[in-house]
Amino acid sequence: MSARIIDGKAVAAEIRNRVASQSAEFQQRSGIVPHLAAVLVGEDPASAVYVRNKQTACEKAGLKSTLHRLPVETTTEQLLALVARLNDDPGTHGILVQLPLPRQIAEQRVLDAVTPLKDVDCFHAENVGLMVQGRPRFLPCTPSGCQQLLIHAAIETAGKHAVVLGRSEIVGKPMAMLLVQKGLAADATVTICHSRTQNLSEIVRQADIVVAAIGRPNFVTADMVKPGATVIDVGINRVGDKLVGDVDFEAVRAVAGAITPVPGGVGPMTIAMLLQNTLRAAELQAI
């Protein structure tokens, strides 16, 4: 058996095209061009690539994107001052502060400072709380991208056991919250595993759906996966000159029923969902 490949590039392209069409209609109706402000502090090469990809995707979808580059020695107060200016700017609808930030910056203070109506990453406590209560303003980009892949691949989740590997605020926790809600690609019974989980391999082996977001290359091996399970690989790790996920792709592919590749799986979805959130932010602020 060889797993069906869940093509994130194709699904993301479909979502980006839909956002472009909806954005054009919104602009014609309101005269407002949805505008994403991206903030990049320092010279981290991976972060620079991510931000450039987000900008390119915005432009292709007819959204405006502005990059604010700050030097690596930027202080928390200086970054907060920029966020405050963007909060107050009616022409800026979404604010993205690229993570990770340099060590000297108080990351949580910065994320908390982004006004909830412009928090297109869904990191603010207000937006997280709304999501947990099942009445989201925005959905977190990577977890909602994973959910869209499950929907497009017609993966049955209701009543199934989903195991999320990782408990980060960006992926692990919100992914679990989305899967346990009522609705499409949800209604699952969810277990979160992390670095302190005992008998982790045994727990993962029970899963009908595995979401790997643990940040360790090739961590999920074939013997950890139930035959026929769906495996969503959020990880992106550089090993030598190759990008690999948190899942040993070739080995697990022989066991799983469906699997996302790295690259070309979850990554494109994150950007597509960011565009969708930016458009929604502009629509909410136009009301």
Percent of the chain with pLDDT over 70: 100
Identify the H or E element spanning 39. Answer: strand 35-41
Measured between alpha carbons, how far is residue 73 from residues 81, 82, 99, 103 in Å? 15, 15, 15, 10
Q: Is 31 left (phi over 0), alpha (psi -120 to 50) or beta?
A: left
Q: What is the pLDDT of residue 272?
A: 97
pTM summary value: 0.96
DSSP designation for 3 = P
**Residue pointed to by tokens 């290359």:** 217
Q: Which two tokens stand for residue 154?
A: 């017609």
Write down all domains in the chain, each with its CATH number in brackets. 31-118 (3.40.50.10860), 141-267 (3.40.50.720)
- Dump the DSSP string for 73-139: T--HHHHHHHHHHHHH-TT--EEEEPSSPPTTS-HHHHHHHS-GGG-TT--SHHHHHHHHTT--SS-
- Answer whether 4's CB lies under 8 Å from 257's CB: yes
Q: What is the pLDDT of residue 263?
A: 95
The 10s digit of each residue's pLDDT in 215-224 is 999 999 999 9
Q: What is the pLDDT of residue 34?
A: 98
- Answer whether 117's CB lies under 8 Å from 136's CB: no
The 10s digit of each residue's pLDDT in 185-196 is 999 999 999 999
What mean pLDDT is predicted for residues 34-47?
A: 93
The 10s digit of each residue's pLDDT in 47-94 is 888 899 999 999 999 999 999 999 999 999 999 999 999 999 999 999
- Residues noted as catalytic: 54, 98, 121
- 3-state secondary structure at position 275: helix
